[in-house]
A and B are shown apart, each in its own frame.
Chain A
């Protein structure tokens, strides 16, 4: 609750700072400072919370658990890392720098709501608060036709999926007369109304859209490819993680008792997502577009946490989102240093800039799930939850095959960097801070890989 208030106020301060301060670099410094402050508020709220205690706010509309506080803190830290890594590229996108940072604060407000909502209304508002700023960020490069196209596509399809989400909420409300999601946990499959099942299906469809799962993924490549690269990095990582925490929270808190009715639908969606994401990524020529498809494929793995209803799934989701976020942010930061986004643009990078090539290799290893990196342990947790579920072995085996396919397109980047000759053009030189941050991110990826329990402190 403190974090929601703080993020809102800091977002408004950021808006005014962009209005008063004209120098773009100073706006970036103010934004960094405010994000540090927000992280401080999150840590303060996390430390003052009693372990294992659930705090209720406003008629049970928000239930803040230590888990949601921990998730909020991690996401805020990821946003801070993102701003530090790509700040200099964000301020180059357009003129309204203060507004871009303000929108990040508002997206975080939505994230905090989605990690602790206990009421369908709050969930709906949270989803909209993370979606609308993303439509704006997608279209922020106004001179670029592809950016405008991305924004319009994302907005129209997003508005449509919001309509489906509302229809689902309405049907469930109509059948139960409740907005409070913890009340739905009394639903039993034998007595359940067809209206509830239709509503659950609608909710699955609209959430699958938000996390870009397979039949609803068609917007993802165009939007991620067309948006300015720093904003693509944000949408693919923190935006996606926020949608996932809402997804798992709604389905595991409210519909766990009727899980027999929806896990099969979701398992098929997961399999389709893994298939489409990985197979299409193989054919891409641009690394940026490949990363867009890879984000679909990784969403397939994250869907495992929603499919398998258990406490382990929540822990798995935390580890997966953090591992995926760090690796993807790092990969986009490397991409931003290059002029040419195709695979050929990476040719000979190891000779020209060994450090950049080395950190890129760590990120790629993590995305592909090679042992000793965060990506491996994350995939391991996800598959473990599915195995514990019992009846999803076919999905686990399918996911393993798809993970093997993913190694092909990820390793193309490494082959281009180390085994091909060329002279990659750099968009900007690496400063000392850039080097430090990239190495730090790579170290974090490895640290989570060898000691994943640091992401799961006691009491969450």
Chain B
């Protein structure tokens, strides 16, 4: 077992364990923290697959932006175990059935899939930031630059709408 395989197994155990933690923990804040850890573990997998850009974006977008939003909502709503609404058995049954169906579909899809064809011993460079940067700055330089106008107008919007008018 070389070092990469050891890291792979550590990340896998971490990802699955934290994903279970999201579902099983009673406290919503703990759930969110577990979810962030899951995202970090998955980003680690991306790094192992030589996809740097995907790893970074996964952390920035999911662990950074979306999770902070989740935390804000949970804190503002002041959820905890006492105020958790009791769900009726019908809702619980519906959840079990729909979740189980999805599980079945995934199992069926994986059992049919030809995994040997996917495994590629050669490392590719397609996920590297360098390659992506070259595409972005050569082929798509115009949309890349013009999107700055879009972001500028969005920032103006934040100021125009968000700033308090002083009389």
Contacts and interface: CB of A to CB of B under 8 A. Distances in A.
Interface majority SS (helix, strand, loop, mixed), chain A: helix
A272 B68 CA distance: 44
Contacts of A121: 140, 143
Interface residues of A, number: 36
Given A96-B159, A99-B156, A129 B142 contact: no
B140 A136 contact: no
Contacts of A122: 142-143, 146
Contact of A136 (B141, B147, B156, B165): B156
Nearest to A124: B143
A110 B139 CA distance: 20
Given A106-B152, A106-B153, A132-B153, A58 B160 contact: no
A128 B150 contact: yes
A243 interface: no
Interface string B125-148: 000000000000001111100110
A142 B142 contact: no
21 contacts: A8-B149, A11-B152, A57-B142, A61-B142, A95-B165, A99-B156, A102-B156, A110-B149, A113-B146, A122-B142, A125-B147, A125-B150, A128-B150, A129-B146, A129-B150, A132-B150, A133-B153, A135-B157, A136-B157, A140-B161, A142-B161
A48 interface: no
Contact of B143 (A109, A125, A142, A143): A125
Contacts of A99: 156, 159-160
A207 B72 CA distance: 35
Contact of B161 (A57, A100, A119, A151): A151
A267 interface: no
Which secondary structure dominates where chain B touches chain A?
A: helix
Contact of B142 (A12, A58, A100, A140): A58
A136 B142 contact: no
A136 B146 contact: no
Nearest to A140: B160
B161 A106 contact: no
A52 interface: no
Interface string A93-109: 01110011011001001
B154 interface: yes
A15 interface: yes
A136 B143 contact: no
Contacts of B163: 96
Nearest to A98: B156
Interface string A54-91: 00011101100000000000000000000000000000
Nearest to A62: B142
A433 B149 CA distance: 34
Contact of B153 (A96, A136, A139): A136
A8 B163 CA distance: 24
Question: Most A CB atoms within 10 A — which of B139, B140, B156?
Answer: B156
User: Which of B146, B149, B153 is packed against the most chain A CB atoms within 10 Å?
Assistant: B153
Of the listed residues B154, B160, B161, the one surrounded by the most CB atoms of chain A closer than 10 A to its CB is B160
Q: Which of B141, B149, B159 has the most CB of A within 10 A?
A: B149
Contacts of A94: 160, 165
Contacts of B153: 102-103, 106, 129, 132-133, 136
Contacts of B141: 58
A96 B165 CA distance: 9
Contact of B149 (A95, A129, A140, A151): A129
A181 interface: no
Interface string B12-43: 00000000000000000000000000000000
Nearest to A151: B161
Contacts of A135: 157
A135 B154 CA distance: 10
A303 interface: no
A233 interface: no
A38 interface: no
A136 B161 CA distance: 7
A143 B167 CA distance: 13
A133 B153 CA distance: 6
